[in-house]
Structure formats: C-alpha cells, structure tokens
Amino acid sequence: MFYFSEIENKEVIQNSDKFFGKVKDLVFVNDVVPSISKILVTRKKGDVLVPIESVAKTNSRIYISKPPENIVISDNELFIKGNLLDKQVIDLVGNKVVRVNDVAVHEKPHLYIAGIDISFLGILRRIGLADNFCRFFHRLKLDYHEKLLSWADIQNLEIQSGKIKLKQREEKLSKIHPEDLADYLEMTRIKNVVAFLGQMNPEMAAEVFHRLNVSYQTAVFERFDNQKAAEIINTKVLNQEINKLSKTVNKPKENHPWRQYKTRNRPLPVNCS
C-alpha cells in the first residue's frame, strides 16, 4: 500500500531512460471498487493522460511504455487530487463529517483506492514533514498513527454527481448530528442537497433542513417536488419551528420561504422544479 502524497510529483520515465514528466494526479473509476485507471502527467507542453496499462514498474520513479495518444476521461472517472483530496466526506463509522487529508492506494491484485487518511499525519505527509514528526514523537515515547477510513465506510456527495445512494446507510446517517450534516450540505451543490434530503425519511430530512440557512432552504424547496415538500413541512419539527416564528417575528408566517406549503386551504404550487 502507498499514499497518493508519496507518488505525487514523482518522475515518469519513458522506455527506461527518457524523462516524460511528473505525476500530477491519479484517475480512478467511481465505483464500489475504485480502481486506478490512468495517471495524469504534467509536461512542459501540457498535461497528458497515461493509461495504467502503460505503467511497467514503479519505485523511486514510474516507468512507462509509450502511451497511446488522445486519451480522455470517461463519465465514470474522477481525479484523486481534483475530486477527492481536501474534500469533506461523511464518516459513517464515527458518525461525523471529516476531511480527506490523503488517499491510500492498494497495489494488489490491482491498483485501487483502499481508503482515506483523515489524520493530521496525512497533512504532514503531503508537505514532507511526516518522518520528522514521527521521529519527534518516538523520542517522547509517544505513538501516533494515521487514521484510515475504508472506502466502504464513507459517503461523498460531490463525487457522486448527484446520484446519492443512502437508503442502506440511512440508519447510520441518522446518528450524525443534524447541525453537522447541515454545515456539510451548505458546502455542496444545491442539487446534491436536494438529492440527499430527498432520500431521507421526512422527519430526519426536516431535522437537517431547518438547520440550513434561509437561502439554502429556499433553493432546495424550489427544486423539491410537491409531495416531498409537503411531507417535510408537515413534520413535527417544522411545525414547532413555524409556531416559534409566529410568536417571535412580527411578520405573517406566509413570508417564510417554505410557509406556503403548509397552508391547508391552498393547493400546492404546480411547479417546484
């Protein structure tokens, strides 16, 4: 196993002796088993994609055969550095939102992402200070290790391209504090927030929804279908929130961006998309 930080900026050598460029990023297939499919190599003339099949061996350098030309990224492929590193993910084991500080890659039976390192050591590894840090702790007779999360134990909204699969993991997600989920969602795209809340049960979705800022609430409800909007608004938590607003704010409750969905004698709007 190795970390992305250990391979980034490594020299790439073509045909045993010709300098080709340096590793800029790794491409992986966004699947249950995220296999490494390509290497993005930076060159003076620009970046070049090299299929993983062209890699002959790796050690202090990466040796490749002559790569095919005009290689492109497929729809189901993403970049480790560009799409995963430094992003925030939901840790379904620890029930919290964490940051990806480094990415672990297994080499056998083929190259694939094994998990993410969320420890401070992951940051130090990327800036070349991990060894010094570990030696310092060793002198103090203290032990400090990376903290790895398996790929199966995380859920990343941004890399899912809006297609979020949460039904089997909803029970675990319900253990994460709604405020943490709301903070996380406010850093993602609106379409991902809609997809995320749309697949939760109404009570849980309402707990998270009413902790979003008003601009997010408005944008989300503009994209909800009528049924989902009504389900969330008619939950106990939002009924309580509406009552609080009516007592503390000198405005009609209809002024709230989602109050319109609660009015019993008014038909739901035709278009919420």
With cut-offs at 50, 70 and 90, classify the pLDDT of residue 263: very low
Token pair of 85 as six digits: 């590193």
- Model-level pTM greater than 0.75? no
Pairing label, strands 102-106, 96-99: unpaired
Whole-number average pLDDT of the chain = 78
The predicted structure's pLDDT at residue 38: 94
> End-to-end alpha-carbon separation of the chain, Å?
46
272 has a pLDDT exceeding 60:
no
Q: Which domains does the chain have, with CATH numbers?
A: 2-150 (2.30.30.240), 169-262 (1.10.220)
156 CB contacts (<8 Å, ≥6 apart)?
Answer: 84, 87, 89, 90
Residue 26: alpha-carbon gap to chain centroid: 16
Higher pLDDT: 219 or 191? It is 219
